[in-house]
Chain A
Amino acid sequence: MLKGVKIASVLAAAALVLAGCGSSGDASASATAPTSSVKVGMAYDQDGKGDGSFNDAAYAGLSKAQTDLGVQIKEVNSGSSATDASREELLTLLAQDGYNPVIAVGFAYSTALGNVAAKFPDTSFAIVDSVVDQPNVGNLVFAAEQGSYLTGVIAASASKSGHIGFIGGMEIDLIKAFEAGYVQGAKSVNPDITIDSKYMGAAGDNTAWNVPDKAKAASAAMIGNGADVIYAAAGGSGLGMFQAVKEAGAGHWAIGVDSDQYTVPALADYKDFILTSMLKRVDVAVYDTIKGVVDGAPLVGIQNFDLSKDGVGYATSNSAVEPYKAAADKAAADIKAGTITVNTK
């Protein structure tokens, strides 16, 4: 298991380097277009791709594997009123059709994946944001609180009013960790800072990830109360925060989540207001999982993607974040060194 973690960290680093090269020049990497017989099955939860955030980050990793490794891909989503039974059937169909690895995006798949992984011991599985105790499953978990600490540092440094906001998706421990890190980071810069927090749905309210109108109203209310920087960890609902910040105009900043939302084409209208994004490198985790299978060394066990493995971080694609980089990088170094411990609650 330790070995797996080690491999993961090396791969994560490698993937980041590759991602860094990006479009500029990967001629050396693909002198001949690579092909592979590996068929990757990817299952998103509910409506899947198009949230410009979590699911799209997973897709970015998949599509990178498709170009860089030449694997074949198949994407499915579970639909809006999915049950464990319907999720299990989707994963079974993928495994049955020879897809290997099968990657489930989201903790909602945990029960279903556990059952299917036991039925197909020769197939490699992976799950994002959950832990399934099976020998053929890689559990891709993230230290989102560490990345959120950095965005908290940036938010507090950028705020002129000493008042910032947080928009959460569903009020569950997974998302509360984002809030906890953000609050702790912000208070490390300005202990007297005011932080408004609002969740888009109670635990169990499946609409929470997809109510941009509600997120817009909540963000507008925070701005009305004097907040000038807002961070949303709310999946598709985050769009509403971008709208509210843009309407509030210059002097107000939005902080995105999961993907580098400054570069998401669907959010191009709002990019001038996106100061940075907390990066949860689901793309790296997905890519590493696929690479592991292609190389004949599938990732198994708990793969913890934290700051030390660049599994979380913050985006620098908007140059407006420059003035705050020093503070954020200092915090990152302290977290890696262990001099700062970030709360998850």
Chain B
Amino acid sequence: MNFRRFGISLIAPLLGVVISVAVTSVILVAINANVGDVFSSMIRYGTSPRAMTLILNLATTYFLSALAVAIGFKMNLFNIGVNGQYVLGAVAAGAVAGALTLPKIPSVIITILVAMVVGAAWAGIAAWLKVARGVSEVISTIMLNFIAIAIISYVIVRTSVGHETSLNVRGTKEIAESGMLRGLALLDEGTKIYGFFFISIFIGIAYWFILNRTRFGYDLRATGHSASAARTSGIDARRMTVVTMLLSGAIAGLVGLPYLLGEAASYNLNFPTDWGFTGIAIALLGRNNPVGIAVGALLWAFLDVASGQLILEGIPREITTIMQGLIVIVVVISYEIVRRRQLTTEQTRVAKALEAQGVSA
């Protein structure tokens, strides 16, 4: 491992945090808030046991969403359809789990498989459109998001899958306690760390292993670097596209499960529908690396959870949204600058070496 490269990959996110704190401070001064108080209360609250539990739980969701996006990114596929894939996965999983009366382990395994299959199938439509019809996945996945929402509302409002869970709220049948993964109260007595937190660590390791230690992962990265070079070396690019989209969709299908099995117990119509977009931002932050994504997800979740405390102190919660946006922009820009710098230094180095050997360019 090249220490300089490692340093650079750390500097970009740090720069992002520093610049976003600086700009946010200016905004806070402009709205007459006490800058020191705001940041210290964010940290004080954010490190309390209950808040830390909430952060880990939310980060679990973001981590899975970002992994789903990252797999696509590795092959230059832009899966904007994680939203649609996870809401459909969660509804199907919620409906099946609600109907099951099995012991915990088989029940949870079936729930997970249903979510993955449905998510993969939905992403599969975009994959088929791309390889068979040449439709850009950017267009098809975003359109499929709208269709997914419409399907869900049809299923929950008009079919027997949905029923009124409380006044004015409809959802899938409540999952029995034996089908839930509520998790462990490790940090705080009253709030549990979702069971899916531990599963997602395993998924992160599997992601790393498949991409870096298997033939498939090599093919995927090779196609991502240069599709034409990969084709020349005998990789079937169309097949890679389909398999990658299916994998991305399968992970996306899991995004709703930490919350569904850890807390909600029913997919109701208040279920958040935009975690997929958060995943895109976090995949960019983490540079598609599982550790980077985990750190990005924790940071994002910290800001989200802390915003609840800020608003009690009279600071609009949009402050944290601004910070999140700034971090992403700065990180993406600094990675790009570093990449270009490296490219030019590399070129000069090669040119010099060639010159020394007396080869003229």
Within 8 A of B (CB), among A138-168: 141
Please name 5 further chain A to chain B contacts, defined as beta carbons within 8 Å, in addition to the given A83-B58, A202-B150, A203-B156, sorted by A numbering.
A84-B270, A90-B311, A107-B167, A108-B169, A173-B164
Contact A131 B166 (CB under 8 A): yes
A130 neighbours in B (Cβ, 8 Å):
166-169
A-B contact pairs, 20 of them (CB 8 A): A79-B317, A81-B275, A81-B278, A83-B263, A85-B57, A86-B305, A86-B308, A93-B308, A97-B312, A108-B169, A110-B167, A111-B169, A111-B264, A172-B168, A172-B170, A202-B150, A202-B154, A204-B152, A206-B270, A206-B272
B183-217 interface bits toward A, Cβ cutoff 8 Å, 1 = contact, 0 = none: 00000001000000000000000000000000000
How far is B57's CA from A197's CA once the two chains are assembled, in angstroms?
Answer: 41
Contact B270 A108 (CB under 8 A): yes
Q: Of the candidates A77, A81, A110, which one forms a contact with B169 in the assembled complex, judged by CB atoms under 8 Å apart?
A: A110
Distance (whole angstroms) from the CB of B6 to the closest CB of chain A = 34
Contact A203 B168 (CB under 8 A): no
Contact A84 B166 (CB under 8 A): no
Q: Is A260 an interface residue (CB 8 A)?
A: no
A82 neighbours in B (Cβ, 8 Å):
272
Q: Of the candidates A86, A131, A171, A206, which one forms a contact with B157 in the assembled complex, judged by CB atoms under 8 Å apart?
A: A171
Chain B, interface size category, equals 35 or more
B78 neighbours in A (Cβ, 8 Å):
none
A79 neighbours in B (Cβ, 8 Å):
304, 307, 317
Contact B259 A203 (CB under 8 A): no
Given contacts A107-B166, A172-B170, contact A204 B156 (CB under 8 A): yes
B169 neighbours in A (Cβ, 8 Å):
107-108, 110-111, 130
Q: Is A80 an interface residue (CB 8 A)?
A: yes
How far is B131's CA from A274's CA once the two chains are assembled, in angstroms?
Answer: 53
How far is B58's CA from A202's CA once the two chains are assembled, in angstroms?
Answer: 26
Q: Is B335 an interface residue (CB 8 A)?
A: no
A203 neighbours in B (Cβ, 8 Å):
153, 156-157, 170, 269
B295-310 interface bits toward A, Cβ cutoff 8 Å, 1 = contact, 0 = none: 0000000001101110
Within 8 A of B (CB), among A8-37: none
Chain B positions within 8 Å of A, measured between CB atoms, are 50-51, 54, 57-58, 149-150, 152-154, 156-157, 164, 166-170, 190, 259, 263-264, 269-275, 278, 304-305, 307-309, 311-312, 317
Distance (whole angstroms) from the CB of A172 to the closest CB of chain B = 6
Distance (whole angstroms) from the CB of B290 to the closest CB of chain A = 23
How far is B148's CA from A296's CA once the two chains are assembled, in angstroms?
Answer: 49
Distance (whole angstroms) from the CB of A177 to the closest CB of chain B = 10
A227-251 interface bits toward B, Cβ cutoff 8 Å, 1 = contact, 0 = none: 0000000000000000000000000
B149 neighbours in A (Cβ, 8 Å):
202, 204-205
A321 neighbours in B (Cβ, 8 Å):
none
Contact B263 A84 (CB under 8 A): yes
Distance (whole angstroms) from the CB of B265 to the closest CB of chain A = 9
Contact A74 B156 (CB under 8 A): no
Distance (whole angstroms) from the CB of B274 to the closest CB of chain A = 5
How far is B270's CA from A77's CA once the two chains are assembled, in angstroms?
Answer: 15
- The residue in A80, A82, A206 that gathers the most chain B C-beta atoms within 10 A of its C-beta is A206
Given contacts A107-B167, A130-B167, A202-B149, contact A89 B305 (CB under 8 A): yes
How far is B307's CA from A48's CA once the two chains are assembled, in angstroms?
Answer: 15
Within 8 A of B (CB), among A320-337: none
B50 neighbours in A (Cβ, 8 Å):
89
Q: Is A264 an interface residue (CB 8 A)?
A: no
Contact B167 A90 (CB under 8 A): no
B57 neighbours in A (Cβ, 8 Å):
85
Distance (whole angstroms) from the CB of A114 to the closest CB of chain B = 8
Given contacts A76-B311, A84-B264, contact A111 B166 (CB under 8 A): yes
A119 neighbours in B (Cβ, 8 Å):
190
Q: Is A278 an interface residue (CB 8 A)?
A: no
How far is B270's CA from A94's CA once the two chains are assembled, in angstroms?
Answer: 22
Contact B308 A204 (CB under 8 A): no
How far is B51's CA from A83's CA once the two chains are assembled, in angstroms?
Answer: 15
How far is B275's CA from A89's CA once the two chains are assembled, in angstroms?
Answer: 19
Q: What is the chain A residue whose CB lies nearest that of B166?
A: A110
Contact B307 A173 (CB under 8 A): no
Contact A85 B263 (CB under 8 A): yes
How far is B273's CA from A323's CA once the two chains are assembled, in angstroms?
Answer: 46
How far is B296's CA from A79's CA once the two chains are assembled, in angstroms?
Answer: 20
How far is B89's CA from A298's CA once the two chains are assembled, in angstroms?
Answer: 43
B304 neighbours in A (Cβ, 8 Å):
79, 86
Q: Is A132 an interface residue (CB 8 A)?
A: yes
How far is B270's CA from A81's CA once the two chains are assembled, in angstroms?
Answer: 9
Distance (whole angstroms) from the CB of A215 to the closest CB of chain B = 17
Contact A90 B157 (CB under 8 A): no
Q: Is A129 an interface residue (CB 8 A)?
A: yes
Contact B166 A132 (CB under 8 A): yes
Q: What is the chain A residue whose CB lies nearest that of B162?
A: A203
Contact A131 B263 (CB under 8 A): no
Contact B150 A93 (CB under 8 A): no
